[in-house]
Structure 1
Amino acid sequence: MRPTDRTGLAIILSLVALMLFDAMGLIIKHLSVSYSAAELSAWRNLFGLIPSIIALWTSSVWHKKGRRLKIRQWKLALLRGAVVTMAQLSFYLALGLMAFATASTITYASALFTTALAIPILGERVGWVRWCAVLVGFVGVVMVIKPTGEAFNLYALLPLAAAAFYALVGVTARLFDDDVSSPLVNLYASITSVIGATSIAYFWGGFTPVASANDMGWIMLMGMLGGTAVLFLVVSYRMTEQSNLAPFSYFGIPLAFVLGWFFFDEAPWSTLFPGALLIACGGLMIVWRERSRSKPVPKLHQ
């Protein structure tokens, strides 16, 4: 258990982050008709800096340490920003090309990638139970993507790529020193993401002039929601073990379905089920195994 372990608060923050991410995703899908994924990623990161800067300035830990901006693991922080950029680009493209619930559900395969990445990055040992869970979840992903179906397109792999990138971001959050404030870690990633996304947008074809004040309002809200969600998620990851948070994250699958149906009149039952259930089942199997391994073994009375 980490010295800063506060599971209850971490769960609340992760659920709030989940709802903020879904709200951001709805705005991205709405705006994707007029703006490219690279543009939206650049705008999202630019306005996402606002909550990052506010959070850093109000951080008592940062002030107590002399308001230092340099951290020992600055290279890792910048690398995470580059990975975030790729995750965003993949996911935003998927939102513009696929049903909202389908794109969102496939990204929940991040729990499977997290298990695999924990081996080389965190040095964790993964037993047969967790590998079976990964296999179950992977079968669910295949059933949702339907790679052998006539309607299959390569863009169905975009949310899967996003899941892998987001998993890498989540795992590497555990590598930072405990005395480094979460807002500072997030600010490094945010600044790198702004630079990366803006560069991609420039070479992608440039920026489309914002059509109206209404669009600019949506763009600003998108960035604020996304920046706040990422901050909450980083804080929650550093408060407790990820296995404590994962069961609650799967609440996002039915939520995404309801939101997609309500706002875009999408109801992809045949696409999502039963694959979505297997994705959730695989993730929850991993969670169960993690929690059972972390329980202390009772001592026998001598």
Structure 2
Amino acid sequence: MSLSAAQNQSSPAGTTASAPDSSKALYGGKSTRRITIHDIAAATERGEKWPMLTAYDAMTASVFDEAGIPVMLVGDSMGNVHLGYETTVPVTMDEIAILSAAVVRGTKRALIVADLPFGSYQEGPVQALRNATRLIKESGVGAVKLEGGERSLEQIRLLVEAGIPVMAHIGLTPQSVNAMGYRVQGRGDEAAHRLLRDAKAVQDAGAFAVVLELVPEELATQVTQTLHIPTIGIGAGAGTDAQVLVYTDMVGLTGGKVPRFTKQYANLRQVLGDAAKEFAEEVVGGTFPAPEHTFH
């Protein structure tokens, strides 16, 4: 039952339950302080949907922060879209730490979540704690994200016990691309049950939210209805509590084929290309710099 429905049932006959306070909304709210995981939990209680975008530098992050994006992920997707790697696997802790700090410096309100890259937590909980602590202390992020359900249970539990908020990530886990490939996860009864177990495991371990990537919509909706922590979909349909996109896909910077679940809201690749060509042509033609760009 939705929160609003419950409120209406508990209201005296002939009265109407008060509307939610929109000033507290994650997106569009009036608060200017840094968002925390407690705000995320409150939004879930209100039945509020919210957006999340990736960010990898201070300038882009500042634009998203001014636009009101409440949660930003410094994802290991930086490997593909920012650092030129073919996959996320080569991304290092140093790279995550440097770019996470830049995103934190470029924002004032958004909750910044940093990925723990491949090889930074697979050895066990102690390794995970050491690297997550570095991102909290050195980069100033408000939470970390790691991949895996039941297999990452002890890592999540230790981080949460140490006071580090954890966002989990199940379904397609890109760091495991060499083992699973890029394909929809959770199809078929056995795979669906396994994904549900993973979702419940990360919740029980203390994760404050879970990303569902490349999961059938019906299964993602079922997971969302089963958990009390928010689900964040990417290629998981409209039934999740939140949606995340890699920002370069969203703004059309990514070249070549993009995932089916991505919607392009702008074509910055063309805008930047046209600007670069116009600049080059003016330099070659001798019209830039003009007198108004010149000092005497």
Report the TM-score range of the alignment, normalised by the length of the smaller protein. under 0.3
Q: Which is strand-richer, 1 or 2?
A: 2
Q: Which has the larger radius of gyration?
A: 2
Give the TM-score normalised by structure 1: 0.25
> In proportion to residue count, which structure has more helix?
1
Structure number with greater CO (CA < 8 Å, separation at least 6) is 1
Output the TM-score relative to the length of structure 2: 0.25
